[in-house]
Structure 1
Amino acid sequence: MSDARPPLPPFTRETAIQKVRLAEDAWNSRDPARVALAYTVDSKWRNRSEFPQGREQIVEFLTRKWRRELEYRLIKELWTFGDNRIAVRFAYEWRDDSSNWYRSYGNENWEFDANGLMQRRYASINDVPIAEAERKYRWPQGRRPDDHPGLSELGL
């Protein structure tokens, strides 16, 4: 179990919420290698129109993503959960290299192995242009502060 990534399935509401926050924290690090460690070595993804498989392709995908999506800040929220599955909704804000801001909304379905590693991730995402003044995520890059509102509190 050296590859174990607690909390492990089967999930309770409490452990599912914890798993979601751990994923959010990792993605907000914008460190592709760190993020990839939460997935099985043969993990299968669908992210928009891309289908990365395995950690190497996940790292390549995230490296490209964060070169394009600058000042990325993400909030995830538990939608529902089952034994080894979690569904989340999320929104993240980012800007392109021309300083155009976006809020990207989406849903993810996750499936975990017995060690708590994600073996499947299916994401559907839509981008909405926003004005800089409409941004809601203004914490310093990195982990969202514990006292920062979540999606529901922000009305997103």
Structure 2
Amino acid sequence: MSRPPLPPFTEGSAREKVRLAEDGWNSRDPAKVALAYTEDTVWRNRVEFPRSRAEAQAFLERKWAKELDYRLIKELWAFTGDRIAVRFAYEYHDDSGTWFRAHGNENWEFAPDGLMRHRHASINEHPIKEEDRKFRWPLGRRPDDHPGLSDLGL
């Protein structure tokens, strides 16, 4: 299986890879999203350390069962060869209705077939008021005309 765009990345292909990752995560489909990672993918996500595609999928199932109405924006920060760095923010609410905004950075390393081999994420979050939400598009893919992180001042 191949997952274009493939490394080595150009600015254009890195931006495309970031948008494809954002679109996948905004689908909130753990099985679909997990297919973007190698079978032996290695993650660091807060205090969890998935060590395979199956563990990554299980992580995503738990995540989106708790993080309701999840909406994400990713933005390219840097790239070289087979690596991409992104910054991101996402909003969600928990089962009590409290809204949160999470901010973070990810470092990605890709296999030659374009599947992600390593994903290292650093994330901070804080509660927000419903009226302070900035990500209000219908669930699913962020519309092309919706502002990105820099445009939103995030």
Classify the secondary structure of the residue corresponding to 2:145: coil
Equivalences for residues 23-38 of structure 1 within 5 A:
23-38=21-36
* CA–CA distance in structure 2, aligned partners of residues 46 and 73 of structure 1: 21
The answer for the alignment partner of 2:110 in structure 1 is 112
* CA–CA distance in structure 1, aligned partners of residues 111 and 53 of structure 2: 15
* CA–CA distance in structure 2, aligned partners of residues 97 and 60 of structure 1: 20
Q: Alpha-carbon deviations, 1:89-113, whole Å to 9, x = none?
A: 0000000000000000000000000
Structure 1 residue 73: Cα displacement:
0.1
* CA–CA distance in structure 1, aligned partners of residues 20 and 31 of structure 2: 15
Q: CA RMSD in A?
A: 0.4
* CA–CA distance in structure 2, aligned partners of residues 133 and 122 of structure 1: 31
Number of aligned residue pairs: 154
* CA–CA distance in structure 1, aligned partners of residues 145 and 52 of structure 2: 35
The answer for the alignment partner of 2:94 in structure 1 is 96
Q: Alpha-carbon deviations, 1:17-56, whole Å to 9, x = none?
A: 0000000000000000000000000000000000001111
Is 1:8 the counterpart of 2:6? The answer is yes
The answer for the alignment partner of 1:80 in structure 2 is 78
Structure 1 residue 59: Cα displacement:
0.9
**Structure 1 gap segments, 5+ residues each:** none
The structure 2 residue matched to 1:132, chosen from 130, 138, 141, is 130
Classify the secondary structure of the residue corresponding to 1:142: coil
The answer for the alignment partner of 2:54 in structure 1 is 56
Determine what percentage of the aligned residue pairs are the same residue: 68
**Structure 2 gap segments, 5+ residues each:** none
Classify the secondary structure of the residue corresponding to 1:58: helix
Structure 1 residue 11: Cα displacement:
0.1
* CA–CA distance in structure 1, aligned partners of residues 116 and 109 of structure 2: 6
TM-score after normalising by structure 1: 0.98
The answer for the alignment partner of 1:142 in structure 2 is 140
